[in-house]
Structure 1
Amino acid sequence: MTTTDGPTADTSPDPAPATVRDLHLTDSVHSARDDARAQGGRAGDWMPYLPASASPHCPPGVDRTTLVWAETVAPGGYTHKVLARGSRLRFDDPTGDACAHLLLFNALEPVERLNVADTLKIPWQAYLGVNHPLLSGDGRVMAVVTGDSSGRHDAFCGTTTDTWNQHKYGDSRPEGPSPSGRGLFVKAAAKHGLSRRDLPPSVSFFQGVRVEPDGALTWQGGAGPGMHVELVAEMPLLVLVANVAHPLDPRSEYAVGPLRVHAWRGLATGPDEERFTVTPELHRAYLNTVDHCEARGL
């Protein structure tokens, strides 16, 4: 008989790593039901908060009982929502790397949508900031910027495409490591009966672009963590958001951070507010908007 001076070495093979089948018992309908219900209390880093009042990131000064939308959008993720006229919409960039690409549609008549050319032309201002209107092609104010701590935005470049991301990152699948903004907008639009052909150019917040004297576009990047942008919906809106890397971002890796989105009930801009008549062009756009909404009882 062989003896040893110490404990016998364990030569048995390492246990196989747990598989999804090991972690979830779904061998019957009842087991599958119990397993699914067991996941109900779990929370992730990127998720909508339901009800919205349960958001752990309620904006300062906002009564959380008035929240109608609260969500943290993953890097490379997207979201969408229909908002009532007068709703306040806020984007927060907690890390300094978010890039909120935004599309707006008239929720009642989606043929009316954001027109980036008019958004720059009518206010005689190419750079988005406080009191800048987001205009439709019908000469109406869809939303207006009411707060901005970032100052780094873009209304020139639109969002990324599948072809661009495939060339730069080697992948553009919506479920892949580097989805394109255009691809995510297509998915969001489809949930509201819209197709790729319904998608106009978008604007984006938190990654700045400036035009040089020779006409070249220069990427400025973000303004740092903790920045925010607030808007007010001047008509019922369908909002589509894609949180993806900016097309001019020179970094070789797909660089984008999480995006926080909140919306709460409020009132549309009225004639007694300064921005309603700040310029003749904006005054006319607001009159068009009020006429459109009041005729529909809004």
Structure 2
Amino acid sequence: MTTAEESRPTAPHDPHPTEHPTGQSPARVRDLHRTDSVRSARQDARAQGGQAGEWMPHLPASSSPYPPPGVDPAALVWAETVAPGGYTHKVLARGTRLRFDDPTGDACAHLLLFNALEPVERLNVADTQKIPWRAYLGENHPLLSGDGRVLAVLTGDSSGRHDAFCGTTTDAWNERKYGDARPHGPSPSGRGLFVKAAAKHGLSRRDLPPSVSFFQGVHVEADGTLAWRGSAGAGTHVEIVAEMPLLVLVANVAHPLDPRPGYVVGPLRMHAWRGSPTGPDEPRFTATPELHRAYLNTVDYCEARGL
């Protein structure tokens, strides 16, 4: 079991004392990094080159130590291990395959999708459940926008424990449960991390719709109660294909219904590689009248833009 507080390494800017390399006495980070002149600051910065952390993008993507089975590492366009309590973001081309892996059984990938060409079009959780007549996410489930188009579709799922009901955590929720919700604190909220990720693409808090999440399941009981089902265990994965150019935002944070008192979340692995969008010859394209219409809307939009 992994918590964000236990798993994330101390950041270089952490103001709290750390053990001095000599072991003689605690020292602040500024005592370990000489930056009192331009020359010493440059030397200090260059000394950090070549170092690698446990949670980071792998650059180039082909250097990932965890390439998905059957995928040529040279084909990867994104490879990253997202820290417990961390976030990431990326713009992906139409047809890109994106895989999420939960190596410990404690990841919780909260996901938002936007049309990368026109971000006003974004994931609509209500339509994602309504149009395919399925409340629970799983293989071949479309992730739809409010404009009646398919942003992405789940093409593989070995977990079966997901959630399209609850969204992600807020600062108020985490402050009440854990006592802290700072983005760089021990228990960041999903909403707070989404705000940071969105800002890097010119979006603000008001642009963020409800999200879906992978790897921590929620089920609706007969009386309407939302019951947390937790993880399917370590080693599960989800794959999606981008049916449109996508802006992807991901926050890897504890699920809001997780009953455990601690902030429990494990690392999340992500890989993406070039592929093709769903075509008319594939069964899901015409699986239902509603889905067929959504795919026709999607193809019409993309072909008009030469995609």
Q: Give the alignment's TM-score, normalised by structure 2.
A: 0.91
- Aligned pairs for 1:131-170 within 5 A: 131-170=140-179
- Aligned pairs for 1:17-36 within 5 A: 17-36=26-45
Percent of paired sites with the same residue: 84
Paired with 1:135 and 1:18, the residues of 2 have a C-alpha distance of: 52
- Residue 224 (structure 1) aligned with residue 233 (structure 2): yes
Offset, 1:74: 0.5
Q: Which amino acid aligns with 2:256?
A: P
Offset, 1:18: 4.5
Determine which of 53, 68, 72 is the counterpart of 2:77: 68
Paired with 1:64 and 1:260, the residues of 2 have a C-alpha distance of: 15
Q: Please name the residue that 2:189 is paired with.
A: 180
Offset, 1:284: 0.6
Q: Which amino acid aligns with 1:179?
A: P
Residues 165 and 21 of structure 1, relative CA distance in 2, 3 Å threshold: closer
- Residue 209 (structure 1) aligned with residue 218 (structure 2): yes
1:53-105 Cα offsets, whole Å, 9 max, x none, are 11111111001111111100001000000000000000000000000000000
Paired with 1:20 and 1:201, the residues of 2 have a C-alpha distance of: 39
Q: Please name the residue that 1:9 is paired with.
A: none
- Residue 259 (structure 1) aligned with residue 274 (structure 2): no
Determine which of 42, 48, 55 is the counterpart of 2:57: 48
Paired with 2:29 and 2:225, the residues of 1 have a C-alpha distance of: 51
Offset, 1:166: 0.7
1:222-261 Cα offsets, whole Å, 9 max, x none, are 0100010000000000000000000000000000000001
- Residue 127 (structure 1) aligned with residue 140 (structure 2): no
Runs of 4+ off more than 3 Å: none
RMSD value over aligned CA atoms? Answer: 1.0
Paired with 1:153 and 1:219, the residues of 2 have a C-alpha distance of: 10
Determine which of 48, 64, 82 is the counterpart of 1:39: 48
Paired with 1:287 and 1:34, the residues of 2 have a C-alpha distance of: 57
Paired with 1:289 and 1:166, the residues of 2 have a C-alpha distance of: 41
Q: Please name the residue that 1:96 is paired with.
A: 105
Offset, 1:19: 4.1
Paired with 2:280 and 2:73, the residues of 1 have a C-alpha distance of: 28
Q: Give the alignment's TM-score, normalised by structure 1.
A: 0.94
What SS does the aligned partner of 1:48 have? coil
Paired with 1:290 and 1:19, the residues of 2 have a C-alpha distance of: 56
1:113-160 Cα offsets, whole Å, 9 max, x none, are 000000000000000000000000000000000000000000000000
Report which of the two structures shows the higher radius of gyration computed on alpha carbons: 1
242-251 vs 14-23, which deviates more? 14-23
Name structure 1 gaps, 5 residues minimum.
Answer: 1-13
